[in-house]
Each structure stands twice: as structure tokens, then as C-alpha cells.
């Protein structure tokens, strides 16, 4: 039997994860803030110095959660990969932003999906808000200092070149200025060190 959403939320919170969307029997999980990064960096996956600590942590923790709650686990990566873009849109808590990437009702442009729990039965529908992009003055479209991320698209090579240069140190250490310009992102207490980690991985 599928547990109540409150039971799922409580079990996820024990692992510093939040329910960030529900669609049918699929419950999407993302970092619970504040505190996710501080907890994650104490995990064995972070401390062992091996590659891909975030994905390995997600795999272990969400697989254990799924076992405990009678669900299957789904991830944005690896052999159990699902279409998280579509699931996020279907959940009604994330939308396409003017700069192309997803914007989430709570996390804004800092949204991140670590995995999902898939139950046999659908959960009751959850009330969902409207997109925060209406109305919004769209600072995400103009915040990139080199115009690499605008309503016209994302120039990834230009972005990478910038963050690899001294002028791009702020993006590299604290995260993308365009994502940080979103007023919804600004209410979401993500540790800048987490954004810096993802930027370093992006740079390769």
C-alpha cells in the first residue's frame, strides 16, 4: 500500500531530502534546505574521495528509502534513469523558464532532482501553484555578464570559457549569476559551496 505523503516526507527529511513534486505514483526528491550540503559533506561518499559522490550518495540513500517505503527508486542518471524533465513538468511544481531551464516553485532556478520514489498506486493529487515567471521582470535573462544565458538560449562554450577565467570566479565559486538572479532562487537557502561544486563538475 502506498504510504501517505506526510509519511514519505518525514522519511525523506531524515535523509535531508524534500518532496519537490508528485505526479501519479511518482514522488520526486531534491535537497532539503537549509542543511543539505552540510549533511552531504559528512557522508561516506563525499569523504572517500572517489568520483561522483553526489550520484553515489543519491543511489544509496534513495534506494534505502524506496526499500523502506515499498517503492522502486528512479534516478536522473545511471541504469535506473527516468525522464526527470517530463516528470518535473507533469508534477505541476516546475515549469520551463525564459532561459530554457526548469524553474521550481520553491527552489527557483536552483532546482535539482536527486531521484524519485515510484509507487504502484497514485498518490492523491497535490495542490500546485502557478509559475513564478508570471509576473516577473525576468532578471534571469539579463544577469549573465557575458550574455551566455538569455531568452535566446545558452551558449555553453562561452559560459565555460568565462568561468574558467579569473573574471568568472564568482560564477565558479558561488554559482551561475543568472540562476542566482531569480527571486525564487534567492528565497531558497542553498549553500553556495554546493553551487560551486556543481560548477566545477560542469567545467570538467
Please report which residue ranges of 70-104 form alpha helices under DSSP H. 84-91
By CB under 6 A, residue 12 contacts ligand SF4: no
Q: C-alpha cell of 139?
A: 532578471
Between CA 102 and CA 124 the distance in angstroms is 24
Please report how close the Cβ of residue 12 comes to ligand SF4 at its closest, in angstroms. Answer: 25
By CB under 6 A, residue 176 contacts ligand SF4: yes
Binding range to ligand SF4, per CB under 6 A, among 45-53, 54-62, 163-171, 187-195: 163-171
Which residue from 11, 69, 89, 136 is in contact with ligand SF4, where contact means CB under 6 A?
Answer: 136
Please report how close the Cβ of residue 164 comes to ligand SF4 at its closest, in angstroms. Answer: 10
Residue nearer to ligand SF4 on the CB measure, 69 or 177? 177
Which residue from 146, 173, 188, 196 is in contact with ligand SF4, where contact means CB under 6 A?
Answer: 146
Please report which residue ranges of 17-125 form alpha helices under DSSP H. 36-40, 44-47, 53-69, 84-91
Which residue from 2, 53, 171, 194 is in contact with ligand SF4, where contact means CB under 6 A?
Answer: 171
Instruction: Map the footprint of ligand SF4 across residues 104-133, applying CB under 6 A.
Output: 108-109, 132-133
149-150 and 26-31: which strand pairing?
A: unpaired
Which residue from 184, 190, 195, 197 is in contact with ligand SF4, where contact means CB under 6 A?
Answer: 184
Q: Please report, to the nearest 10 degrees, the dihedral formed by the alpha carbons of residues 84, 90, 93, 97 taken in order.
A: 70
Q: C-alpha cell of 102?
A: 526548469
Integer CA distances (angstroms), 130 to 58, 111, 112, 135, 139, in order: 29, 16, 19, 10, 19
Residue nearer to ligand SF4 on the CB measure, 5 or 146? 146
By CB under 6 A, residue 103 contacts ligand SF4: yes
By CB under 6 A, residue 102 contacts ligand SF4: no
Query: Residue 199 in contact with residue 171, Cβ under 8 Å?
Result: yes
Helices (H) then strands (E): counts for the chain: 10, 8
Binding range to ligand SF4, per CB under 6 A, among 20-28, 51-59, 116-124, 157-165: 157-165
Residue nearer to ligand SF4 on the CB measure, 44 or 183? 183
Q: C-alpha cell of 12?
A: 525523506
By CB under 6 A, residue 149 contacts ligand SF4: yes
Amino acid at each position: 500500500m502506498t504510504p501517505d505523503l506526510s509519511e514519505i516526507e518525514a522519511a525523506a527529511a531524515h535523509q535531508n531530502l524534500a518532496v519537490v513534486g508528485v505526479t501519479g505514483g511518482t514522488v520526486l526528491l531534491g535537497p532539503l534546505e537549509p542543511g543539505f550540503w552540510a549533511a552531504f559533506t559528512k557522508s561516506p561518499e563525499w569523504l572517500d574521495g572517489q568520483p561522483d559522490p553526489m550520484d553515489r550518495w543519491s543511489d544509496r540513500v534513495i534506494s534505502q528509502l524506496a526499500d523502506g517505503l515499498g517503492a522502486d527508486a528512479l534516478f536522473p542518471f545511471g541504469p535506473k534513469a527516468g525522464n526527470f524533465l517530463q516528470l518535473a513538468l507533469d508534477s505541476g511544481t516546475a515549469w520551463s523558464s525564459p532561459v530554457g531551464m526548469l524553474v521550481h516553485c520553491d527552489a527557483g532556478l536552483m532546482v535539482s532532482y536527486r531521484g524519485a520514489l515510484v509507487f504502484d498506486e497514485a498518490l492523491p493529487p497535490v495542490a500546485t501553484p502557478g509559475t513564478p515567471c508570471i509576473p516577473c521582470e525576468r532578471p534571469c535573462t539579463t544577469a549573465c555578464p557575458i550574455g551566455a544565458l538569455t531568452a535566446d538560449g545558452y551558449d555553453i562554450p562561452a559560459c565555460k570559457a568565462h568561468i574558467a577565467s579569473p573574471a568568472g570566479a564568482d560564477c565558479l565559486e558561488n554559482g551561475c549569476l543568472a540562476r542566482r538572479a531569480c527571486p525564487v532562487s534567492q528565497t531558497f537557502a542553498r549553500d553556495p559551496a554546493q553551487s560551486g561544486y556543481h560548477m566545477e563538475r560542469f567545467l570538467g
